[in-house]
């Protein structure tokens, strides 16, 4: 298995496309395109565990290690996804350091966590690489916690201080809605929240991440200090491309 935690924590710029259609084919395309990691969305995405099996199989064979966004901060969700071979987990709506600590516990084996141990799942090479995986999993697996509320922003520094949290990942749409300024991503209040997250990450040696609504935001958010990005998703990119093609065809009609 390939992992990305070392690159994230040394501050490399890390780009991903989101896989939200539940398709292993788009995961393969993301890997073939050379993105640094693959974001597989099991919170708002269309796929379930039956699709996730194939998505993670493809991702493990490629060069874009998969981080799976689970639907909530529950231990049993971590266990099954990690056993299938995810290189990391993204957890939505983490508002406090206590919730971040719970996520760390769910991600890690004893003595640092409470993740259940099985010797033969895909992550362990069906028992053929269990010893190596078990010895290194706590150091290799990436934990991204999402900052999506004013409370989470207020607690950004204490969340970043939690050992085992690697990325504070802003969900811009949820955050803007919770601030009462939906999709107003250039509002000074929203931008102040971004700066607070980056400051908390810098203070504690963690990486700030964010999903970009469009690529237009990427340069300014890099300049603000963000390093981990989801820069689009399979569904939205395909829908946009189809709309553009239809518009072009319509413009050529007599």
pLDDT, tens only, 179-192: 999 999 999 999 99
Does 251 score more than 90 pLDDT? Answer: yes
- Per-residue confidence (pLDDT) for residue 2, from 0 to 100: 95
Average pLDDT over residues 27-55: 97
44 as an active site residue: the answer is: yes
Calpha distance 201→251 (Å, rounded): 48
* pLDDT bucket at 219, cuts 50 / 70 / 90: very high
> Once rounded to an integer, what is the mean pLDDT over residues 136-162?
98
Q: What is the pLDDT of residue 42?
A: 98
> pLDDT at position 253, please?
83
Q: Which of 10, 25, 44, 241 is catalytic?
A: 44
Name the percent of the chain lying above pLDDT 70.
100
Assess whether pLDDT exceeds 90 at residue 94: yes
Q: In whole angstroms, what is the distance from residue 219 CA to residue 248 CA?
A: 29
Over residues 104-145, the pLDDT tens digits come to 999 999 999 999 999 999 999 999 999 999 999 999 999 999
- Could you write out the DSSP letters of every residue in 61-124? HSSS-EEEE-SSS-HHHHHHHHHTT-SEEEES---SHHHHHHHHHHHS-TTT------SSSGGG
CB 232 within 8 A of CB 240: no
* CATH code for the structural domain at 5-246: 3.20.20.60
Cα torsion angle, 147, 148, 151, 153, sign = positive
Q: Is the pLDDT of residue 72 over 90?
A: yes
Give pLDDT, residue 254.
83
Q: What is the pTM of this model?
A: 0.97
Question: What confidence tier does 1 reach under pLDDT thresholds 50, 70, 90?
Answer: confident
């Amino acid at each position: 298995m390939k992992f990305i935690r070392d690159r994230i924590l040394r501050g490399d710029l890390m780009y991903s496309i989101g896989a939200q259609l539940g398709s292993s084919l788009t995961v393969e395309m993301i890997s073939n395109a050379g993105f640094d990691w693959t974001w597989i969305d099991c919170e708002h995405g269309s796929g379930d565990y039956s699709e996730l099996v194939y998505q993670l199989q493809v991702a493990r064979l490629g060069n874009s290690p998969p981080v799976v966004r689970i639907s909530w901060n529950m231990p049993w969700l971590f266990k099954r996804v990690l056993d299938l071979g995810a290189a990391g987990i993204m957890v939505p709506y983490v508002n406090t350091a206590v919730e971040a600590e719970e996520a760390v516990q769910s991600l890690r084996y004893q003595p640092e966590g409470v993740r259940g141990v099985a010797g033969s799942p895909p992550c362990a090479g069906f028992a053929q690489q269990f010893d190596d995986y078990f010895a290194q999993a706590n150091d290799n697996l990436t934990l991204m916690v999402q900052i999506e509320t004013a409370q989470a922003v207020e607690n950004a520094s204490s969340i970043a201080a939690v050992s085992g949290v690697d990325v504070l990942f802003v969900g811009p749409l949820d955050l803007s809605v919770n601030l009462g300024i939906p999709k107003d991503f250039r509002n000074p209040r929203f931008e102040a929240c971004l700066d607070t997250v980056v400051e908390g990450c810098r203070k504690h040696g963690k990486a700030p991440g964010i999903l970009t609504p469009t690529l237009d935001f990427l340069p300014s958010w890099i300049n603000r200090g963000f390093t981990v990005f989801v820069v689009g998703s399979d569904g939205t990119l395909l829908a946009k491309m189809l709309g553009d093609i239809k518009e072009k065809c319509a413009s050529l009609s007599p």
